[in-house]
Amino acid sequence: MPGFREVQYYLAGIWLLIRMDPRGFRFLDMSERGANRSFWAIFWCLPPMGISWLWWRQAFLQTMPPNTDVGLLFYFRLGLVEGVNWVVPLILAGLLLLAFKKGERFAPVIVSVNWLGVPLAYINGLLLALVFFLPGLVGLVSLLLLAFMLAQVFAIARILRMIFFGNGLMVGALTLVLLVPSLMLSEYLQRFLGIYPV
């Protein structure tokens, strides 16, 4: 598992790529090995995921009868949704790249998206923590979450522009593939698994 200093190094590369600075590629291992190791980013995201799960539990229980409680199965299902949302968009991106005969760019996409997920998870966790501990700020946090979603689209698109040398069609298609399925899958799986607030 990459240590803190190594993760800092990777995140510095991600930040440079968002700034359209090609030096960012030097900070990232874009090989197949680097792509495999980048999935350790999931473990680095566990603390903010825990915050989001606590917030989701609170939202879920508010829609249920009094004295309802949830057990470990509830959190297991949340973890399942997180895992699917992390992996399925990357699989779809790989299929799209194969269709366009750009399979050699799959590893850089995996590495970039996985490590970008770390700061995004912590920002999301911080915003949800504000709602959790300061419920009076719901309106403000809702606006911040919208701005966060737009920033996420912006960051992914900028990184993909660097990987695909400004190929607008590929950048647009991949950005949609990496973001839209997660939004659709989340709600569907949460409803299917019975963990969606009604």
Tens of pLDDT, residues 41-95: 999 999 999 989 988 888 888 888 887 778 899 999 999 999 999 999 999 999 9
- The Cα angle at residue 138 between residues 133 and 142, in degrees rounded to 5: 125
Query: What is the model's pLDDT at position 164?
Result: 92
Among 81, 72, 74, 40, smallest CA distance to 57 is for 74
Return the structure tokens found at 102.
């750009």
pLDDT tops 80 at residue 132: no
> According to the model, what pLDDT value does residue 114 have?
96
What is the C-alpha separation between 107 and 113, in angstroms, rounded?
A: 10
Mean pLDDT, residues 131-156 taken together: 86
Rounded to whole angstroms, how far apart are CA atoms 38 and 13? 13
For residue 150, pLDDT beyond 90: yes
- Rounded to two decimals, the pTM is 0.91
pLDDT computed for residue 68 by the predictor: 77
On average, the pLDDT of the chain sits at 91
Provide the b/e sequence for 47-80 (b: ≥16 CB within 10 Å). Answer: ebbebbbebbbeebbeeeeeeeeeeeebbebbee
Residue 46: predicted pLDDT: 93
* % the chain with pLDDT above 70: 100
